[in-house]
Amino acid sequence: MGIATSARGRGSNGRLVVGMACLWAWGYVATLSQSLFPSAHVVASIGVEYAYYASQLTLVALALAVTLATRRRLPRVSSGAVVAGACLLAATTALVALLLRLSACPAWALAVCGVAYGVGGLALTVAWGARASVGPAATQRLVLCSFLLAYGIYLGCLTLPLPCGRVVAIVLPLASGMLWLADERRRQRAASGAWPGEATSDEVTAGSTSAAILPWRTLSLLAVACLVGNFVASYLMGASYGSARTIFVGAFLTCAALALATLPLVGDGSRTLSIERVYRYALPLAAAAMLLILAAPGRWTDACTAVLTGVGMFLQALVILKVCETTRATGVSPLLSFSVGQGLVGAVVAVGNVGGRVAAEHLAGDAWLAAACAIGVFALFCLLLMMADDLTRRLLRAGVAPGALPDSASALERDLVEGTVAYARANAASGARDANNAGDVETDAGAVAHAERLAAFSRLHGLTARETDVLAHLVRGRALAAIAERLCVSTGTVKTHALHIYAKTGVHSRQELMDLFEATAPDGREDVATVGGPTGVSTSDASSQEVTYHATRIDEGQARARR
């Protein structure tokens, strides 16, 4: 465990921001700009939307496939697969540019390219998402900065000549993949002193495969709000590209303004970004745009459409931020969490855009426009009321991700995520430091005794060296995310080892593990004087009753731990 407590330096932070920005910017340039078009003044549809819709539907299909795969075992995503995904995006982008130059571009060919977009894009998103979920909570600021940089790259590409824009669209995914690979190798070297070969190789798939632990309520509200904005914006644009350039420029300026306004709400590690707070000022902006269309139809249509499009795109970024927050705090597998997040975004974008275009073709007219805007305003108002954050504020203060612990989560899931909350409250009441940092200062004699007890406990229960590293932090009451940051690995990797420890020691909660550890003498014998029963719950320390909580034995959780 003699490694740096942070796996990230300034250089790695820069690679994270630039690498993720290149990925987001590629998506914007390849699907929402005219960089790939054969002419800068396209008015009628030329079929590029088929690739866009196919890519979003592919994300939905992949999300369903990954969710179903959790019943068995998630596939491993190697570094080679991530690089292959980047190369696939670059090659397909070049192919789309060639297809669009044909006089009669086949729609099926563009749809096939869209499928490749979805596969390659998800591979890179999951890889970068796993990386963003390793480290302190302040990583959210870096993710938000990556979106802000991506908006700037998109706007910059619009000023380039068409050939240069095509080159940039092809290079962006390659740059993202190469930056990810460079950062993976650097982190592998940084963590090789403690966990050789494991620090990054399994971080994409490691962790819980229970979809119940995902914040479905928050993600659903964000998705529905994004759907409303996409539908109305698509209805206003119709099937014409005539005003697309103006609308998309305004949309990205709106996104940039929202991102800049959100940055002050991102903590320095002591608190996390309040997704609900951002949600509350983004939705009224979209509602105001719809009301302005109702008040002056035809006068501010393009500007209001740009605002609606921008808010919808920013809500998609909030989905990524929410998934990053949940993955870091709960240890859910990044492959599962980011696949589900991208799948929700894909479903919203596909349904909203297709539905809006179909409605514009068959329900055109001022009366239908007024009805669409009125319904949209009412829907956003209802969604705003539904995002109650009383529970969210309590969970944030306790150090648990909001919405991350639904009632359907298993007892072992709940124990590992909530394991430090009671200890943090008890230590705060006694004037101690945060429980995640407690016990860092020890006397030499105490440190030696603790090390001997740790070694004896590990031998007694057959723990591996890596499980012993995790145990050393678990028995001090540290949270999973704090352990992951200290050991330079993902929260999911720590969670997997913690479940193995639970299974080997036969305990069902962190409190039972701590009491069993304290009841083990340095020579490996069990000190029965401090054991209160067969479960090893201590009765000698009265103060422990304040923080003790019990988890019910769940067969499913035990089976997952043994695997």
Cα 267 from chain centroid?
Answer: 17
Name 534's Cβ contacts closer than 8 Å, sequence gap at least 6: none
Q: List CB contacts of 309: < 8 A, sequence separation 6 or more.
A: 229, 230, 233, 247, 248, 250, 251, 254
Amino acid at 3: I
So where are the chain's domains? 10-398, 411-562
Query: In tens digits, what is the pLDDT along the chain, a chain of 563 residues?
Result: 333 334 445 668 889 999 999 999 999 998 887 777 666 555 555 667 788 889 999 999 999 999 888 777 777 788 889 999 999 999 999 999 888 888 777 888 989 999 999 999 999 999 999 888 876 666 778 899 999 999 999 999 888 887 888 899 999 999 999 999 998 888 777 666 555 555 555 678 888 888 877 888 888 888 889 999 889 888 888 755 666 778 889 999 999 999 998 887 665 444 445 676 777 788 889 999 999 988 877 778 888 989 999 999 999 999 998 898 888 877 888 999 999 999 999 999 899 988 888 888 888 777 888 888 888 888 888 887 776 544 344 444 444 444 444 544 555 555 555 544 444 444 444 333 444 444 444 445 556 677 777 888 888 888 888 888 888 888 887 777 778 777 777 777 788 888 888 888 888 777 788 888 887 766 555 543 343 333 333 333 333 333 233 333 323 433 443 44
So what's the pLDDT on residue 483? 80
Give pLDDT, residue 201: 55
Q: At CB < 8 A and 24+ separation, what contacts does 67-71 make?
A: 67/211, 67/336, 67/339, 67/340, 70/209, 70/210, 70/211, 70/333, 70/336
Q: What is the pTM of this model?
A: 0.78
Residues 10-398, CATH architecture: Up-down Bundle (1.20)
Question: What is the 3-class SS of 288-322, one letter each residue?
Answer: HHHHHHHHCCCCCHHHHHHHHHHHHHHHHHHHHHH
Give 208's strand partners: 332
